[in-house]
Amino acid sequence: MRGKGAAALAGLLGTALVLTACGGGSSDGGSDSGGASGKGPFTFVTGKDNSGTMPYIADEWNKAHPDEKVTIKQQSDSADQQLSDLQQHFQSKDANYDVVTVDVVWTAEFAAKGWLVPLKDDYAIDQAALLPATVDAATYNGTQYAAPYASDGGLLYYRKDLVKKAPTTWDELIADCDGKTTKGTIKGSKPGCYAGQLAKYEGLTVNAAEAINATGGTIVSEDGKSSTVDSAQATTGLDFLVNGFKDGYIPKEALGFKETESLNAFSAGQLMFMRNWPYAAAILSGDSSKVADKYGIAPLPGPDGHGASSLGGHSVAISQYSDTKGSALEFLKFMQSEEVQRNDLTVGTLAPVLSSLYTDEALVKKFTYLPDLLKSIESAVPRPVTPFYPAVTQAIQTNAYAAMQGDTTTAEALKNMAAAINSAAAGG
Amino acid sequence: MSITSEPIAENAADTSGKRRRRKRDKTIHTGESRLAFLLLAPTLIMLTVIVGYPIIKAIYQSFLTDPGLDSSGFFNEGNSWNGLANYKHWLLQQCPGAGGVTESCPTGNLGAQFWSSVGITIGFTVVTVLLETIIGMCFALMMHRAFKGRALVRVAILIPWAIPTAVIAKLWIVIFDPQGVLNNVLGTDFAWTSESGPARAAIVIADVWKTTPFIALLILAGLQGISNEIYESAKVDGANAWQRFWRITLPLVKPALAVAVIFRSLDVLRMYDLPWILTQGANGTTTMSILVVRQLNSGLNSASALSTITFIIIFAIALGLVRLFNANIVERGTR
């Protein structure tokens, strides 16, 4: 009786283990097979098409390439699920995942696992017309592995009815808030001063990295194998966020803010300054916004002069296991072509990677934030390019969050951050 | 018969025990049992394949290394024998440091969060199951009584349980918003999901709200199995309401209660969705399951070790609970 009960329990609980047993396997080296010759129909795997740009891409490509038709496979719209779907298919060497969309922060890991075709020699693509930061983010160990097609950079949204001119430095921002905002918590009729995406999730890595990069600090070394974050510059940078909570210019609610929450607070008139992505502009101008005609957009502020944005965005890459690498390469070039880039912006409000579009008169008229976004992306620093990104981002989030909450000093947090990143790189 | 000296529950349990023994004495034909085995075989094989294989594979993998970066900048295969290193990483907080030395896991490394996640998970389990049992008992007693509008009360109590957890979590996010309903009603200004204490309280509140009906339902089923005659004779003997509850209701509903508590404890020990949606594990709400899923992104074999440890911890607790309740039930049944 007791034994049977134990066995049944074991079975029940075993399902917890099943979770991790799925998708085992191993990675391959980085060897390349064959030239850019394989032609034929292929599959393009990408995240859920929230921007509605994929039908245009499929139609245009298929019209021009009737013998090499593309099939678009959409994944879920959660980045975590997209990542594990790609990992599983790469681990099983799936030849049907020919071209895949890669988030900027996954590039290094995928490249180091040998899953992506390096874009050199037969696969070289001319990237001269692109914004350099986007190409850097798709580069690992000196080799480009993915072709950027959508970029993203942080912007400062400010209340132009409360300040005449957007602040360019952190000190100006804090001074602008003086007397016009409430300290510590959002309450009453006055707005809070500043907020970004400071909940403990990927957004915090973005915001913390921006603060650290703005002061000239770095998080990982060039090769991505060790940490450089335990520095005086990084301390000054992170202190902008930490002191925000201490001195009250960041309301404590911001510790729970992701993109949507910060946007909601700003659009309800509860914030004077907000850091967010370009997509926020469309929503702030919409009907439900209380600040539709009261907000302005500027590049992010920094310690002295404009700050550094973290780079967001997506690239397309060719799977090492694809049989149609030739067609795939042409498709990569097509994704970076001006017509697709233009459509991505006008239909899907995706930030283009082609620098020429940012000064295109017709586009600037429609998307007035383009010049500021260009500044933001030009000064953007990729988030740590490291094959251990999942562990590195955990190290950054955990320690930056602890410092913002006042559980530890900034210096101690950065020391732990560095140790945790080094440990991750050593295989922990 | 006096109420104080001999609880009626024992008698009831006694008769059912006798019935069981009589049944067991009947011998089953060997042919029949062979047929039964044949009929069960496909299910057993399926279970071995879909449950047994992954468990054994996961346990095997937990002894292997994760892929590491070699000097060329590419990952090696990993999967070489690693002994107990993965287990030491979690249990003893051993992390590889720069330069190949082993050091204590720094804050920000998932390994450093292991013991706190165990404590948090067990803490959640104790608090939520206790609250749910007490409130669930009240609900069940309420639903059991015949009064006007009983059907309505029953439906109202059961609704939270019928809503998917993810939906409930989203609902509570709105309630827990710093400018949200709860702060307005209580007159507080907690940032519910972004301060340690309130974040844990928030998860307990949401979980209790959702799953109390489950316990109530199981207890109600137990209550409905108690014959009214027992209560009537107790009343005749002069037992007051309190005595009837302690001496009749509680002992007789105990088997149902035990099942409810064990099920709920297992559920809370595996809890993932609610804290993940409410807090992403921030502010001291990282449960063991959340830690496993986080580790999955950075190393499968180490995650296997962690899920094996989690498995053993939950298994041990569950077994302990089964023993505890069983012992009591059996003891009463055979005395």
* Dihedral sign (CA A251, A254, A256, A260): positive
- Residue B141 to chain A, least CA–CA distance (Å): 30
Range of the domain at B275: 85-325
Subunit contact B294:A394, Cβ cutoff 8 A: yes
Q: Min CA distance, A76 vs chain B (Å)?
A: 16
pLDDT at A45: 96
Number of domains making up chain B: 1
Which residues of A are less than 8 Å from B106 in CB distance? 395, 416, 419-420, 423
Residue A31 pLDDT? 38
Report A:353-392 residues touching B (Cβ under 8 A). Answer: 387-388, 390-391
Q: Which residues of A touch B108 (CB under 8 A)?
A: 394-399, 416-417, 419-421
Same fold, A6-152+313-378 and A155-310+383-425: yes
Please, what sign has the CA dihedral across residues B53, B55, B58, B63? negative
Contact between chains at A13 and B315 (C-beta distance less than 8 A): yes
pLDDT at site B12: 47
Per-domain residue ranges of chain A: 6-152+313-378, 155-310+383-425
Name the B residues in 159-188 with CB < 8 Å from any A CB. 178-179
Interface membership of B194 toward A (CB under 8 Å): yes
Q: What are the b/e assignments for B31-64, b being 16+ CB within 10 Å?
A: eeeeeeeeeeeeeeeeeeeebeebbebbbebbbb
In three-state secondary structure terms, B232 is: helix
Q: How far apart are the first and last CA of chain B?
A: 18
Give yes or no for A186 touching B (CB within 8 A).
yes
Nearest alpha carbon to residue A151 among A382, A334, A322, A338: A382
Count of CB atoms situated within 10 Å of the CB of A200 = 26
Min Cα separation A97/chain B (Å): 20
Q: Does B240 reach chain A within 8 Å, measured CB to CB? A: no
- Contact criterion met (CB < 8 Å) for B55 and A14: yes
Region B131-158: mean pLDDT is 89
The reply to whether B36 falls in a domain is: no
Is residue B134 included in any domain, yes or no?
yes
- B107 lies in some domain: yes
Which is higher by pLDDT, B266 or A379? B266
Q: Is the pLDDT of residue B18 over 80?
A: no
The pLDDT of B279-303, averaged and rounded, is 90
pLDDT tens for B165-217 read 999 999 999 999 888 899 889 988 888 888 888 999 999 999 999 999 999 99
B59 lies in some domain: no
Confidence (pLDDT) at A23: 39
Q: Quick one: pLDDT at residue A16?
A: 43
Q: B26 falls in which pLDDT band (50, 70, 90)?
A: low
CATH number, residue B288: 1.10.3720.10
Cβ(A206)–Cβ(A154) under 8 Å?
A: yes
DSSP B96-115: E-GGG-EEEPPBTBGGGGHH
Per CB-CB distance under 8 Å, the chain A contacts of B294 are 390, 394
Run means of pLDDT, 10 residues per run, chain A, 428 residues: 47 45 38 64 92 92 95 88 90 94 94 94 92 92 94 94 94 93 84 94 94 93 85 96 96 90 92 93 88 93 90 94 95 96 90 94 92 90 87 94 94 95 83
Longest dimension (CA), chain A: 80
What b/e string do you get for A254-278 counting C-beta neighbours within 10 Å, with b at 16 or more? bbbbbbebbbbbbbebbbbbbbbbb
Q: What is the pLDDT of residue A155?
A: 93
Q: What is the predicted pLDDT for the residue at B332? A: 53
- pLDDT confidence of residue B329: 55
Q: A143-144 and A139-140: which strand pairing? A: antiparallel
What's the one-letter identity of residue A156?
L
CA distance B61 to chain A (A): 8
Please check whether residue B78 lies inside any domain of the structure. Answer: no
B279 lies in a domain?
A: yes
Assess B191–A contact: CB distance below 8 Å, yes or no.
yes
Lowest mean pLDDT among A54-68, B28-42, B160-174, B308-322: B28-42
The terminus-to-terminus CA distance of chain A in angstroms comes to: 43
> Is A253 in CB contact (< 8 Å) with chain B?
yes
Beta strands in A323-401 (DSSP E): 381-382
Residue B153 maps to a domain: yes
Rg, chain B, Cα only: 25
Please state the CATH superfamily assignment of the domain spanning residues A155-310+383-425 in this structure. Answer: Periplasmic binding protein-like II (3.40.190.10)
What pLDDT score was predicted for residue A428?
63
Q: Do A112 and B178 touch (CB under 8 A)?
A: no
Task: Report CA Rg, chain A.
Answer: 23
pLDDT, residue A223, reads: 75
In the prediction, which pLDDT does B5 show? 42
Q: What residues of A are in contact with residue B57 (Cβ under 8 Å)? A: 21, 24
**B96 Cβ under 8 Å from any chain A Cβ:** yes
Contact A390 B297 (CB under 8 A): yes
Test A428 with B96 for CB contact under 8 angstroms: yes
B109 in contact with chain A, both atoms CB, cutoff 8 A:
yes
The verdict on domain A6-152+313-378 having CATH code 3.40.190.10 is yes
